[in-house]
């Protein structure tokens, strides 16, 4: 089975910006919410795979 080797968090600067697509000290809420949703899915998938093995 293939394992996740890396997650690229910031390919165009959107993760760090107060407006989508622009760099600034604070990330936009929408980006953080989407990132948290993806992270939660990864955690759930890991738990499921651990249960199945």
Stated pTM of the model: 0.52
Residue 12 is predicted with a pLDDT of 56
Alpha-carbon span 23 to 14, nearest angstrom: 7
Alpha-carbon span 30 to 28, nearest angstrom: 6
Question: CA 7, 13, 16, 20: dihedral to nearest 10 degrees?
Answer: -110
Domain residue ranges in the chain: 28-53
Residue 44 is predicted with a pLDDT of 94
Q: How confident is the model at residue 3 (pLDDT cuts 50, 70, 90)?
A: confident
Tracing tokens 């890991």 back to the chain, one arrives at: 46
Residue 48 is predicted with a pLDDT of 92
pLDDT in tens, 39-50: 899 999 999 988
Comparing 4-8, 13-17, 37-41, 43-47, which segment has the lowest mean pLDDT?
A: 13-17
């Amino acid at each position: 089975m293939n394992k996740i080797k890396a997650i690229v968090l910031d390919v165009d600067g959107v993760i760090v910006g107060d407006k989508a697509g622009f760099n600034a000290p604070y990330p936009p809420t929408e980006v953080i919410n989407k990132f948290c949703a993806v992270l939660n899915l990864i955690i759930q998938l890991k738990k499921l795979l651990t249960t199945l093995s």
